[in-house]
Chains A and B, each alone.
Chain A
Amino acid sequence: MLRVNDLKVYYKTPSGYIKAVDGVSFEVKKGEIFGIAGESGCGKSTLVNSLILRKPPMIHMGGEALLEGKDIMTLDEKEYRKIRYTKISIIPQYSLNALNPTKKIREIVWDLAKEHGYTDKEEIESKLRERLRMVSLSEQVANMYPIELSGGMKQRVVMVVSTLLDPKILIADEITSALDVTNQRIILELLYYFIKEEKIVDSIIFITHDIGLLDKIADRIMVMYAGKAVEIGPTEKIINKPTHPYTQLLLNSLPRLGINYEKERLQGIPGEPPALLKPPSGCRLHPRCPYATDICTMKEPEMIEIEKSHFVACHMYRG
C-alpha cells in the first residue's frame, strides 16, 4: 500500500537543519491500523505531514515514499494535489482549529469536493449527512458553523470531512489527546468502525505519544526516537515483549492498574529528548540508555529483523 524507504525530512532554520525525520523506513499494509508512538518532538507529525503537504521550512532531503507504486516525494505539484484527499488524507493534530470558522461544514466540504472534480452537490451533501449520522451527529451539523460545535463534535466532524472522499490511507495525528476519556473512547471506536466495518478507508496511520492507546487499536506499531524508527513490529510483540531499550522505557512510563503510585513513583524516562539540530552521534538514544556501551556512541545501529516482521535498531541484538 504505502512503502517508505530511508525518508529524510528536515526543517531549514537560520541555525541549520533540524533533522526531524532522518532515514525512516516502514510499510503500511492494506486493511491495517499502523501505529506510530514516541515522545513529543520525535518527528511523528513531521513524518506524516511530509507525506501529504511539504512546504517551507520543511524540505525533503532524501528517500522515497511509494504510494501504489508512485513516489509521492517526486510528484509534480498538480499530481500531488490530486492524490490528497482522494488517495491520502489526514486528521491533523490541530483538528480543533482545522475548520474555517466562517464557513458552514457543508460549504467547506463542497469547496473541497469541487477541487477534485465532483460536480453533483446533492450527492456530496447527502453523503456528508449520512456520514454525520454514522458518527452519531445530527444531520443538522452540516448546516452549522464550526464555532457552534464542541471539541468532541469538532473532532468527529473533521473525521467525517477528512474521509468523505474515501481516501485509501488516512493519517490520524494525535486525534485523542485534546479529548476527555469518554470522547477518546468514542473516537477510537468510530475510527475502528470506519476501517474494519465500513471499509471507508483501506489503512490508517495512527499517531500518538501514548503507546498504551495503540494496544487497543493498532495492528502493528512503529516506535520513533529523535527522528529515527527504533522498533517496528506486531502490536502484541511490542507491548508484551518490547525489545528496544527505548520501547521498554516508554512502556515503563505508562501508568498500570494495580500499582499504588503513592508508594512506587511512576517512572518517567530519565533525561531529555535530544535537540534535533545536532543529534547525538551513533545511536541517538545513548545518552539516556541504561545499556549503552562504547559502540553505541560511535556507530549508528541498523534495523534488523530479530524474528518474523519484528525489527529493532539496537546494537544489543546484532547477529
Chain B
Amino acid sequence: MSGIRRYLMRKSMIYALTFVFAVTIDFVIPRLMPGDPIGVLLSRFATLPDVANYLHGYFIEAFGLNKPLWQQYLSFWNAVLHGDLGISIYYYPKPVAQIIKEALPYDLALLLPSIVVSWVVGNWLGAYAGKSKRFDSYLMPVFYFLQASPYFWFAILLAYIFTVKLGLFPISGAYGYGVLPSFSWEFIKDYLHHWILPFLSLFFVQLGGWAIGMRNMIIYEVEADYIRYLESLGASERLLMKHAFKNAMLPQITGLALQLGLIVAGNVTVQVVFSYPGIGYILMQGIMNQDYFLIQGCFLVIILTVLVANFTIDLLYALVDPRIKYAYTEEGA
C-alpha cells in the first residue's frame, strides 16, 4: 500500500474514534448540569401552576427525558447519524438544526477570514522578525502581548476602546435593528460595521501566536546546515529565505491543526462579548437555559468543524512534507 494511503487510513481511524468519544461526552455533559431544563422553559407559566405542572409531564415525555439514560444515548446516536438534532427546549418548537443553520454563516464569516488572514500576516511578520534583529526587538513584545491575551478579554478591550470611548463601532448584534438581511449595499455596510470588532478580536489574538512560532522557526532554520550549504554554493538571500521559509512553515501547518480547537472556543467567547448571533452565542443561550438539545447540537457542530478542519490540515501536511510519506512507506516496506 502506498505511503499516503496508509497515512490516511490511520488518520481516518483516529478521527473516527475521536468523533465517537466526543459525541459521547457531548451527550453526557449537559445531563450533568444541575437543574431541570423543562422547569426553565415553564417559568413563563409561573402564574398558572396547574398548567405548568401538566405541561411539565408532557414535555418530559415529549423530549424523552423520562427514559433510562442508555436509551436516551442510543436514540441520541440514532438522531445524530440521521442529522436530526432534536427540538430546542428554549426556542420551542424550533428544530435545533434550523437554529444552527441560521447561525452558522455568521460563524464562518468570522472564523475563516480571521484564521486565514492572521495565519498569513502572522507568518509573514514572524519571518520578518526572524530575519531582522531590529524589527525583532520591536515586534516581539507586541506578539507576546497578543498571544497571552484571552479572546474574551481582548474583545472587551476592543469594545471598550472603540465603542465605549470612541463610539466608532456598534457593540452588539450582527446588524442594526433597522435593517433586514438582504444583498443591498446598505445591509452589507451595516453588516461589516458590526463584523469588524469581533473579527479584529479573533485576528489579533491569533496573530501573536503565529508570528512567534514563525519567528522562532525561521531563526532555527536559518542556522541549519542545508542553508549553510546553499549559501556556500552561492545562493542569494532570496533563495535562502525561500528554502528556510518552506521548512519553517511546516510546523506552522501542524500548529494550525493544534490551535483550531482553541480558536473555535475563542470564537464562542468573542461572540458572547459582542452578542454576535453565531453558534457561540446560541450555545451560551442553550447553557443559560439548560437546553440539552441546543447545547448538544452546538457542540456537535463545533466538534465536526474542528475534526474536518484538522483532517484537511493533516492531508495538506502529508502533501507538502515528503518526510510523512516516507515515514509511512518505510514502515510498510
Measured CB to CB, the residues of A under 8 A from B are 49, 52-53, 81-86, 89-90, 92, 94, 97-103, 108, 111-112, 115-116, 145, 147-148, 158, 161-162
Could you list 8 examples of A-B contacts with CB < 8 Å? A53-B231, A81-B234, A90-B233, A101-B323, A103-B243, A115-B234, A115-B235, A147-B322
Number of A-B contacts (CB under 8 A): 78
B-chain residues with CB within 8 Å of residue A147 when the two chains form the complex: 322-323, 326
Q: Are B234 and A82 in contact (CB under 8 A)?
A: yes
Q: Which of A84, A92, A100, A158 contacts B234 (CB 8 A)?
A: A84
Q: Are B233 and A97 in contact (CB under 8 A)?
A: no
Q: Mark B213-230, 1 if CB is under 8 A from A, else 0.
A: 000000000001110111
Q: Which of B232, B235, B246, B247 contacts A92 (CB 8 A)?
A: B232
Q: Are B232 and A97 in contact (CB under 8 A)?
A: no
B-chain residues with CB within 8 Å of residue A83 when the two chains form the complex: 234
Report Cα–Cα, A90/B228, bound state, in Å: 11
Q: Are B228 and A92 in contact (CB under 8 A)?
A: yes
A-chain residues with CB within 8 Å of residue B232 when the two chains form the complex: 49, 52-53, 84, 89-90, 92
Interface-centre pick from A82, A98, A116 (highest chain B CB count, 10 A): A98
A-chain residues with CB within 8 Å of residue B186 when the two chains form the complex: none
- Give min CB distance, B220 to chain A, whole Å: 14
Q: Are B234 and A116 in contact (CB under 8 A)?
A: yes
- Give min CB distance, B241 to chain A, whole Å: 12
- Give min CB distance, A104 to chain B, whole Å: 8
Q: Are A102 and B235 in contact (CB under 8 A)?
A: no
Q: Are A162 and B226 in contact (CB under 8 A)?
A: no
Answer yes or no: B260 CB below 8 A from chain A CBs: no
Q: Are A148 and B235 in contact (CB under 8 A)?
A: no
Besides A89-B232, A98-B229, A100-B243, 16 more A-B contacts (Cβ < 8 Å) are A49-B232, A53-B232, A82-B234, A84-B232, A84-B233, A92-B225, A94-B225, A97-B225, A98-B225, A101-B247, A102-B250, A102-B320, A102-B321, A111-B235, A112-B234, A115-B235
Report Cα–Cα, A92/B231, bound state, in Å: 12
For B234, give the chain A residue with the smallest CB separation. A84
Q: Which of A102, A103, A112, A148 contacts B233 (CB 8 A)?
A: A112
- Give min CB distance, A31 to chain B, whole Å: 23
B-chain residues with CB within 8 Å of residue A86 when the two chains form the complex: 234
Answer yes or no: B239 CB below 8 A from chain A CBs: yes
Q: Is the interface of B mostly helix, strand, loop or mixed?
A: helix
Given A81-B234, A100-B243, A102-B321: A145 and B229 interface contact (C-beta under 8 Å): no
- Give min CB distance, B246 to chain A, whole Å: 6
Report Cα–Cα, A53/B232, bound state, in Å: 6
Answer yes or no: B236 CB below 8 A from chain A CBs: yes
Q: Which of A98, A115, A148 contacts B326 (CB 8 A)?
A: A148
- Give min CB distance, A286 to chain B, whole Å: 36
- Give min CB distance, A110 to chain B, whole Å: 11
Q: Are A112 and B230 in contact (CB under 8 A)?
A: yes
A-chain residues with CB within 8 Å of residue B322 when the two chains form the complex: 101-102, 145, 147-148
A-chain residues with CB within 8 Å of residue B236 when the two chains form the complex: 81, 115
Report Cα–Cα, A83/B232, bound state, in Å: 10
Report Cα–Cα, A40/B320, bound state, in Å: 39
For B238, give the chain A residue with the smallest CB separation. A115
Report Cα–Cα, A244/B250, bound state, in Å: 53
Q: Are B234 and A99 in contact (CB under 8 A)?
A: no
Report Cα–Cα, A194/B282, bound state, in Å: 73
- Give min CB distance, A80 to chain B, whole Å: 9
B-chain residues with CB within 8 Å of residue A89 when the two chains form the complex: 232-233
- Give min CB distance, B199 to chain A, whole Å: 33
A-chain residues with CB within 8 Å of residue B235 when the two chains form the complex: 111-112, 115
Q: Are A98 and B323 in contact (CB under 8 A)?
A: no
- Give min CB distance, B317 to chain A, whole Å: 12
- Give min CB distance, A241 to chain B, whole Å: 36
B-chain residues with CB within 8 Å of residue A81 when the two chains form the complex: 234, 236
Interface-centre pick from A52, A102, A103 (highest chain B CB count, 10 A): A102
- Give min CB distance, B40 to chain A, whole Å: 56
Q: Among residues 39 to 92 in chain B, which have CB atoms less than 8 Å away from a CB atom of chain A?
A: none
- Give min CB distance, B222 to chain A, whole Å: 11
Q: Are A92 and B226 in contact (CB under 8 A)?
A: no
Q: Which of B226, B231, B320, B321 contacts A100 (CB 8 A)?
A: B226
- Give min CB distance, B333 to chain A, whole Å: 11
Given A84-B233, A115-B236: A53 and B323 interface contact (C-beta under 8 Å): no
- Give min CB distance, B31 to chain A, whole Å: 48
B-chain residues with CB within 8 Å of residue A116 when the two chains form the complex: 234
- Give min CB distance, B332 to chain A, whole Å: 14
- Give min CB distance, B324 to chain A, whole Å: 10
Report Cα–Cα, A98/B326, bound state, in Å: 19
- Give min CB distance, A32 to chain B, whole Å: 22
- Give min CB distance, B106 to chain A, whole Å: 38
Report Cα–Cα, A162/B321, bound state, in Å: 25
A-chain residues with CB within 8 Å of residue B226 when the two chains form the complex: 97-101
Q: Are A162 and B234 in contact (CB under 8 A)?
A: no
For B233, give the chain A residue with the smallest CB separation. A85
Report Cα–Cα, A158/B226, bound state, in Å: 11
